[in-house]
Structure 1
Amino acid sequence: MEAATWMRNKTVSRLGAAKGLMFLFCLLTLICQTSSTVDKQELAKLRQNNEILKRELEGLKAEHKFLSNLLEYVPKPDQSMERLWDSFDSLPDGFPEMTKRLKQLTQKVEETHMSLKELEAVKHQLTELQKVIAVTEKNLEESDRILNSIEKEHDEF
Structure 2
Amino acid sequence: MRAETGGLIDKVVIVTGAGRGIGQATALALGRAGARLIVNGIDAGALDETVAALAEIGAPHVRVAGSVADWGVAEALTAQAVERFGRLDGLVNNAGLHYQAMPWEEDEAQVRSTVEANVLGSMFCGIHAIRAMRGQGHGAIVNLS
TM-score by length of structure 2 reads 0.29
Structure with higher RCO (Cα < 8 A, 6+ apart): 1
Q: Which has the larger radius of gyration?
A: 1
- Larger fraction in helix: 1
TM-score (norm 1): 0.27
